C-alpha cells in the first residue's frame, strides 16, 4: 500500500513499475527478477497488472470488448474462463456486458477496470486510486472485492488518498511524499502514528512535510 | 429529366464509393497513429499498377481473361499493395513514432514522392490504358444510362466496406485496433500488441485504397503514376468532412463529397450563366475542405476534441 498527498509520486512509482515511465535510477525487482526498464507488455506477461488512475477503460468499446482487448494474444486460461471469474466477482458487468462502457457509472467503470486487469491473470495487481470520485458506499463495495482478491492469493499494491480506509484494509503501508518514502510499517502501526493522523485526518502537516 | 438525374446519381455513387474506399485508409491510420498518411493516395495508384502487372504476367493477352482470373488478380494485387503498406509503415513511420508528430507526416510526403517517381522510372511517366475488370454493357434505367462497370464498382465497394465493418466491429483484431485507436498508452499498459494493431491498419487501408485504384482505372480505362494525387486529396477531404478517425464518417463524407461534386458540375454552368464551367469540380471539393476546417474541424461524425478529454487521456 502506498499512501501520500497529491504530487507525492505515487502514480509515477506505479508507472515506473509497469514500464509506462522509465526510471532514471534504481532497480525494480519482481519475484527476484530485474524488470527495470521492461516494456509494459513484458511486465504484464510476467504477471503484474496495472489498473491505472482514472480507470482508463475503453469508452467506445462494450464491456465485453474491454475484457477481450485485455486478453487477445495471451497464453494461459481461456477467455471464457477468465470472463466468468470476472462476472462472478462483478455481476453488474455480466448484466451490462453488451452495453457501451461509456454508459456506465463511475463505480461500474472502476469494476470494469479491475476486471480488465484481472484478464491478465496477475500475481500482483496494482490499483491506482480506485476510490477516485466514487460514492462512499461504492468505495466500500469495491474495497471488499479487493480484499477478497487478496485472500484468493493475488498480491495487491494499492495507491490511495483515502488513507483511513486504506489503513483499515491493508497489511503494510509506505508513506510517500516528494518522491521519497517518509514512513513505512504495518498498517495498524501507521494508523496509530501521530504524523499520519495529523496529516491526513486533519490537523497541521508541517511535521510530516519536513520529517 | 428523370433519366438524367438517375444517371447522375449513379455517377455520384460510383465515384463516391471509390472515394470511400480510399478515405477509410486515411481515417483508420489517423485513428491509431493520429497522423495523416500522405502516401495513401499512392496505394490507390499502386493498386492499378499491381493489377496491371499481375494480369500481364499471368496472361499475356489481357482481353481474354475470365471472371475467376480477374477476381484472383484483383485479390492478389490488393494484397501486394497491403504488404507494401505494412512495409512503408515499418520503414518510414515506425522509426519516427516517438519523435515530433509532424515527422511521420513529412516522411509520408517523402514516401509519396518516392513511390510516384519509382513507378515513373519503371513503367514510364505516360498514362497506360487499363483493361476493364467488368464486362461493359449499358442498361437503361428509367431513361438514364447506367453501365455494368458502375454496378460492378458499387457492388465491389459495398462488399469491401461491409467486410471492413464486420472485421472492425466483430473480430478480436478489430477490438484491439479500436482499443489502440482510443488510447495507445492504455492499450500498451494492458499488454496489447500495439505494433500488430498498427500493422493491421496499414494493411487494411492500402488494401481498400488499392481496390479503389483498380476500380477507378477500370472505370476510366486508364492509369498513370500521378493518378493518386488529386483523388487522394479528395478522399482526404471526404475523411475530414465525415470526421477523421471515424469509419462511418469516412464513408458518409465520401458520398456527400461525390454528390456535391456531381451536382455542382451539372448545375454550376447553368446557375452562373456559363461563367463557371465543369472545370470547377475540383475547386468545389477543396472549397468544402477549407469550409469544414474553418467551421467544424471535427467533421460530421467526428468527436469534438475537448480540452478536458485531452488532459484526461494523456497520462494516467
- Structural domains of chain A, ranges and CATH numbers in brackets: 2-58+122-210 (3.40.50.300)
Q: How far is A32 from chain B (nearest CA, A)?
A: 21
- Interface size, chain A vs chain B, as Cβ–Cβ contacts under 8 Å: 77
The answer to whether A41 contacts B178, with C-beta atoms less than 8 Å apart, is: no
Mean pLDDT on A188-201 = 67
Chain A: residue whose CA lies nearest to B183: A58
Cα–Cα distance measured from residue B65 to residue B171, given in angstroms and rounded to the nearest whole number: 35
Give per-residue pLDDT as tens, B112-138. Answer: 999 999 999 999 999 999 887 777 788
State how beta strands A48-51 and A180-186 pair: unpaired
- Residue B65 is predicted with a pLDDT of 64
The answer to whether B4 and B11 are in contact (CB under 8 A) is no
Cα–Cα distance measured from residue A128 to residue A30, given in angstroms and rounded to the nearest whole number: 18
Closest by alpha carbon to A16, among A31, A37, A30?
A: A37
Task: Provide the mean pLDDT of chain A.
Answer: 86
The answer to whether B190 contacts A54, with C-beta atoms less than 8 Å apart, is: no
- Residue A208 is predicted with a pLDDT of 42
pTM for the structure as a whole: 0.87
- Residue A209 is predicted with a pLDDT of 41
Does pLDDT of A63 surpass 90? yes
- Residue A6 is predicted with a pLDDT of 79
The answer to whether A15 contacts B316, with C-beta atoms less than 8 Å apart, is: yes
The answer to whether A52 contacts B178, with C-beta atoms less than 8 Å apart, is: no
- Residue B304 is predicted with a pLDDT of 66
Q: Which three cell numbers stand for residue A134?
A: 466514487
Give per-residue pLDDT as tens, B35-75. Answer: 999 999 999 999 999 999 998 887 766 556 677 888 889 99
Mean pLDDT on B151-166 = 93
The answer to whether B192 contacts A70, with C-beta atoms less than 8 Å apart, is: yes
Chain B residues with CB inside 8 Å of A43's CB?
Answer: 191
Chain B residues with CB inside 8 Å of A56's CB?
Answer: 183, 186, 189, 313, 316
What percentage of residues in chain A have a pLDDT greater than 70?
91
Give per-residue pLDDT as tens, B66-80. Answer: 778 888 899 999 999
The answer to whether A61 contacts B187, with C-beta atoms less than 8 Å apart, is: no
- Residue A8 is predicted with a pLDDT of 81
Give per-residue pLDDT as tens, B184-236. Answer: 989 999 989 999 999 999 999 999 999 999 999 999 999 999 999 999 999 99
Go through B102-122 and write b for each residue having 16 or more CB atoms within 10 A of its CB, e for each that does not: eebbebbeebbeebbeebeee
Cα–Cα distance measured from residue B276 to residue B171, given in angstroms and rounded to the nearest whole number: 49
- Residue B63 is predicted with a pLDDT of 59
Q: Which residues contact residue B37 at a Cβ distance below 8 angstroms, ignoring those fewer than 6 apart?
A: B25, B26, B29, B30, B93, B105, B108, B205
Task: Provide the mean pLDDT of chain B.
Answer: 89
C-alpha B247: how far from chain center? 12
- Residue A177 is predicted with a pLDDT of 81
Burial class from Cβ neighbours inside 10 Å (0-12, 13-18, 19+) for residue B8 reads middle
The answer to whether B191 and A118 are in contact (CB under 8 A) is no
The answer to whether A116 contacts B190, with C-beta atoms less than 8 Å apart, is: yes
- Residue B265 is predicted with a pLDDT of 86
Go through B270-299 and write b for each residue having 16 or more CB atoms within 10 A of its CB, e for each that does not: eeeeeeeeeebeeebbeebbeebeeeeebb
Task: Provide the total of helices (H) and of strands (E) in chain A, helices listed first.
Answer: 11, 8
Check CB contact of A97 with chain B, cutoff 8 Å: no
Least confident of A6-15, A165-174, A198-207: A198-207
- Residue B214 is predicted with a pLDDT of 95
Chain A residues with CB inside 8 Å of B312's CB?
Answer: 54
Cα–Cα distance measured from residue A28 to residue A46, given in angstroms and rounded to the nearest whole number: 13
- Residue A198 is predicted with a pLDDT of 58
Give per-residue pLDDT as tens, B257-304. Answer: 999 999 988 888 777 777 777 778 888 889 999 999 898 888 888 876
Beta-ladder partners of A100 = A62
Residue found by looking up cell 519475484 in the block = A31
Count Cα atoms within 13 angstroms, Cβ side, for A155: 9
- Residue B62 is predicted with a pLDDT of 57
- Residue B278 is predicted with a pLDDT of 74
Confidence class for position B305, pLDDT limits 50, 70, 90:
low
Amino acid at each position: 500500500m502506498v499512501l501520500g498527498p497529491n504530487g507525492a509520486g505515487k502514480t509515477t512509482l506505479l508507472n515506473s513499475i509497469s514500464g509506462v515511465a522509465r526510471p532514471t535510477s534504481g532497480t525494480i525487482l519482481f519475484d527476484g527478477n530485474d524488470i527495470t526498464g521492461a516494456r509494459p507488455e513484458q511486465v504484464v506477461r510476467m504477471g503484474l497488472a496495472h489498473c491505472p488512475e482514472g480507470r482508463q477503460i475503453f469508452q467506445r468499446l462494450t464491456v465485453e470488448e474491454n475484457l477481450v482487448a485485455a486478453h487477445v494474444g495471451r497464453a494461459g486460461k481461456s477467455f471464457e474462463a477468465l470472463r466468468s471469474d470476472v462476472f462472478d466477482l462483478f455481476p453488474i458487468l455480466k448484466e451490462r456486458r453488451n452495453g457501451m462502457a461509456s454508459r456506465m457509472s463511475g463505480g461500474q467503470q472502476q469494476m470494469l477496470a479491475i476486471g480488465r486487469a484481472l484478464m491478465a491473470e496477475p500475481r500482483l495487481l496494482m490499483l491506482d486510486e480506485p476510490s477516485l470520485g466514487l460514492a462512499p458506499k461504492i468505495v466500500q463495495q469495491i474495497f471488499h472485492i479487493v480484499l477478497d482478491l487478496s485472500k484468493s492469493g493475488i498480491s495487491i499494491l494499492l495507491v490511495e488518498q483515502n488513507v483511513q480506509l486504506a489503513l483499515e484494509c491493508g497489511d503494510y503501508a509506505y508513506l510517500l511524499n516528494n518522491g521519497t518514502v517518509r514512513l513505512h510499517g504495518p498498517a495498524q502501526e501507521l494508523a496509530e502514528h501521530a504524523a499520519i493522523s495529523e496529516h491526513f485526518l486533519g490537523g497541521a502537516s508541517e511535521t510530516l512535510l519536513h520529517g | 429529366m428523370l433519366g438524367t438525374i438517375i444517371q447522375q446519381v449513379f455517377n455520384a455513387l460510383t465515384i463516391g464509393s471509390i472515394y470511400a474506399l480510399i478515405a477509410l485508409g486515411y481515417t483508420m491510420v489517423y485513428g491509431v497513429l493520429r497522423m495523416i498518411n500522405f502516401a495513401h493516395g499512392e496505394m490507390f495508384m499502386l493498386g492499378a499498377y499491381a493489377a496491371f502487372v499481375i494480369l500481364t504476367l499471368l496472361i499475356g493477352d489481357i482481353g481474354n481473361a475470365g471472371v475467376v482470373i480477374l477476381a484472383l488478380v484483383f485479390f492478389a494485387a490488393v494484397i501486394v499493395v497491403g504488404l507494401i503498406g505494412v512495409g512503408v509503415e515499418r520503414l518510414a513511420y515506425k522509426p519516427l513514432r516517438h519523435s515530433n508528430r509532424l515527422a511521420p507526416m513529412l516522411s509520408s510526403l517523402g514516401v509519396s514522392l518516392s513511390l510516384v517517381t519509382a513507378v515513373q522510372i519503371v513503367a514510364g511517366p505516360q498514362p497506360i490504358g487499363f483493361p476493364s475488370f467488368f464486362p461493359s454493357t449499358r442498361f437503361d434505367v428509367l431513361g438514364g444510362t447506367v453501365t455494368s462497370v458502375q454496378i460492378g464498382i458499387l457492388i465491389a465497394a459495398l462488399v469491401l466496406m461491409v467486410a471492413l465493418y464486420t472485421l472492425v466491429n466483430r473480430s478480436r483484431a478489430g477490438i484491439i485496433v479500436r482499443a489502440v485507436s482510443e488510447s495507445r498508452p492504455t492499450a500498451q499498459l494492458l499488454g496489447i500488441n500495439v505494433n500488430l494493431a498498427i500493422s493491421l491498419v496499414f494493411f487494411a487501408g492500402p488494401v481498400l485504397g488499392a481496390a479503389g485504384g483498380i476500380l477507378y482505372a477500370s472505370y476510366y480505362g486508364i492509369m498513370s503514376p500521378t493518378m493518386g494525387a488529386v483523388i487522394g486529396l479528395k478522399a482526404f477531404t471526404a475523411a475530414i468532412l465525415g470526421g477523421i478517425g471515424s469509419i462511418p464518417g469516412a464513408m458518409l463524407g465520401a458520398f456527400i463529397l461525390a454528390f456535391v461534386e456531381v451536382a455542382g458540375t451539372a448545375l454550376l454552368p447553368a446557375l452562373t450563366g456559363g461563367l463557371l464551367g465543369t472545370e470547377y469540380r475540383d475547386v468545389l471539393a477543396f472549397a468544402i475542405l477549407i469550409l469544414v476546417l474553418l467551421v467544424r474541424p471535427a467533421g460530421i461524425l467526428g468527436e469534438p476534441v475537448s480540452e478536458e478529454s485531452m488532459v484526461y487521456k494523456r497520462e494516467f
